[in-house]
Amino acid sequence: MLQKPRGTRDFLPDEMEPRRAVEWKLREVARRFGYREVCTPEFEDLELFTQRSGEGITSEMYVFEDKGGRKLALRPEITAAVIRMYINEAKVAPKPLRWCYFADCFRYERPQKGRYRQFWQFGVELIGADTAIADAEVILLAAEMLDATGVTYELKVGHLAFMKQLLRDLDPTAQRRVMAHLDKKDFAGLDVTLAELDKPDLAQSLTALLSCRTVQEALTIVGPIPDEARLIQTLDMLEASGCRYTLNFGIARGLDYYTGMVFEGFARNLGAENQILGGGTYRLAHLFGGDDVASCGFAIGFDRVMVSLGDVQHIKDTVVAVACTGEGRARALEVARAFRNAGVRTEMDLMERSLGAQLAHAAKTADFAVVIGKREAESGEVTLKNLHSGDQRTLDPAAAIAEVNAHGAR
């Protein structure tokens, strides 16, 4: 028997329905903030992702050559594609652009709970606003979105300038190596790398920076940073808006394009794969032949949010089964149409079962049965049976629809 590829998942209706419900909650928050949906191709020129995605992600890419010999990659993330699209299609549009997306990404990672090779991100990109309030809006939107899902999380905000200041004597490759260890919280690896770079004493100041909980403390360790005023303004706005966050200057992010403020969200009830959101300010457009536009965004790891939410009770559709005899079939089709037109999920027997067998099947799959035999076909009424309570009444179809709508699934 053929199986799905490792690291991918099938979703049955019982999983898809709650996924869609959560997706729509995210969409609704994005809409209220003015972020409009965009869509980019599932695969792109390989070069788009190799320019500034960082070694961690490029080494995990699904890369292939098409029949025309082009080197392509399944998207490991969507930010680079959105910025490519901005340059191709919307460079002259009035700024800022507020865009969002819900799409799948592909990374050849070692699969485990919350870590997949195909996974979905709900992300936003704010393009062309280079201000403290822009940064604050993106963080507030992230928090509102996570709140809307019902997940319990911690939001951590940081700024790359502190770490870069400490690492200023290292060349960019060495800086990236050190930051990759910090991103993965791999402190043993960090010590080895610092020893190799002949900078063992950096470990102490990096550790001190990681434990700072105020901007002032970090400034004392590192000295002034260029974005200090903007960061403080952003944090003031978050506080004024009642946003709950902690400062963490150890956030390094796994992608190389971030330039300043960075933030991450962590689900409280997840284990190793507990990072449910990541983002920050970045510049990518100039690498793809566009202007050097400042951007800020984040992506929510949708699958991790779903794992964190677990089996929270999802409100299911009320299901009506219209059961009929041969004499009642034509009328049953009419009645089913009326229920469907009223928005009710309505199913009819397609297996040519007897009335008794239809009712037995309905007891397993539906909340109400609407029975239409010869008598009902003649009278125009229907027999409505609540399959949970067993209550049964003869009503005209409009009253039966009203009863179903009032009652809901039990």
For position 119 contacting ligand HAM by CB under 6 A, the verdict is yes
Sequence-ordered list of residues with C-beta below 8 angstroms from that of 306, at least 6 positions apart, any chain: 18, 19, 22
For position 401 contacting ligand HAM by CB under 6 A, the verdict is no
The answer to whether the Cα torsion of 175, 181, 187, 191 is positive or negative is: negative
Residues for the chain: how many in total? 410
Q: Which amino acid is at 305?
A: V
- For ligand HAM, which residue of 52, 107, 159, 331 counts as binding (CB under 6 A)? 107
- For ligand HAM, which residue of 18, 96, 128, 301 counts as binding (CB under 6 A)? 301
Yes or no: say if 381 and 356 are a contact pair by the CB < 8 Å rule: no
Minimum distance from residue 114 beta carbon to ligand HAM (Å):
6
Minimum distance from residue 339 beta carbon to ligand HAM (Å):
40
Of the ranges 86-94, 147-155, 204-212, 297-305, which one interacts with ligand HAM (CB under 6 A)?
297-305
- CB atoms closer than 10 angstroms to residue 216: 9
Q: Which amino acid is at 332?
A: A
Output 190 or 270, the one with its CB closest to ligand HAM.
Answer: 270
Yes or no: say if 410 and 404 are a contact pair by the CB < 8 Å rule: no
319-348 residues in contact with ligand HAM (CB under 6 A) are none
Minimum distance from residue 113 beta carbon to ligand HAM (Å):
10
Nearest alpha carbon to residue 257 among 96, 125, 389:
125
* Total interface residues for ligand HAM by CB under 6 A: 24
DSSP letter string, 218-240? HHHHH---TTHHHHHHHHHHHHH
Output 107 or 159, the one with its CB closest to ligand HAM.
Answer: 107
Output 84 or 331, the one with its CB closest to ligand HAM.
Answer: 84
DSSP three-state, residue 72: strand
For position 53 contacting ligand HAM by CB under 6 A, the verdict is no
DSSP annotation of 363 reads H
Of the ranges 118-126, 199-207, 315-323, 398-406, which one interacts with ligand HAM (CB under 6 A)?
118-126
For position 298 contacting ligand HAM by CB under 6 A, the verdict is yes
Output 107 or 230, the one with its CB closest to ligand HAM.
Answer: 107
Please identify the residue of the shown chain whose CB is closest to the bound ligand HAM: 301
Of the ranges 63-71, 95-103, 206-214, 276-284, which one interacts with ligand HAM (CB under 6 A)?
276-284
- CB atoms closer than 10 angstroms to residue 72: 18
Minimum distance from residue 29 beta carbon to ligand HAM (Å):
16
Q: Which structure tokens are listed for 299?
A: 């992506």
- For ligand HAM, which residue of 109, 217, 228, 334 counts as binding (CB under 6 A)? 109
The answer to whether the Cα torsion of 356, 362, 363, 368 is positive or negative is: negative
DSSP annotation of 51 reads T
For position 54 contacting ligand HAM by CB under 6 A, the verdict is no
Q: Which amino acid is at 207?
A: T
Minimum distance from residue 107 beta carbon to ligand HAM (Å):
5
- For ligand HAM, which residue of 158, 278, 328, 373 counts as binding (CB under 6 A)? 278
For position 254 contacting ligand HAM by CB under 6 A, the verdict is yes
For position 121 contacting ligand HAM by CB under 6 A, the verdict is yes
d(CA 159, CA 350): 61
For position 79 contacting ligand HAM by CB under 6 A, the verdict is yes
Of the ranges 26-34, 44-52, 117-125, 200-208, which one interacts with ligand HAM (CB under 6 A)?
117-125
Residue 409, Cβ density class (10 Å: 0-12 exposed, 13-18 middle, ≥19 buried): middle
Of the ranges 92-100, 150-158, 191-199, 295-303, which one interacts with ligand HAM (CB under 6 A)?
295-303
Yes or no: say if 227 and 235 are a contact pair by the CB < 8 Å rule: no
Sequence-ordered list of residues with C-beta below 8 angstroms from that of 264, at least 6 positions apart, any chain: 155, 156, 248, 251, 253, 275, 277, 278, 279
Output 103 or 166, the one with its CB closest to ligand HAM.
Answer: 103
The per-residue b/e assignment along 114-125, b for 16 or more CB within 10 angstroms, e otherwise, is: bbbbbbbbbbbb
Minimum distance from residue 264 beta carbon to ligand HAM (Å):
7
Output 150 or 223, the one with its CB closest to ligand HAM.
Answer: 150
In the complex, the residues that contact ligand HAM under the rule CB under 6 A are 77, 79, 107, 109, 115-116, 119, 121, 123, 125, 254-255, 275-279, 282, 297-299, 301, 303-304
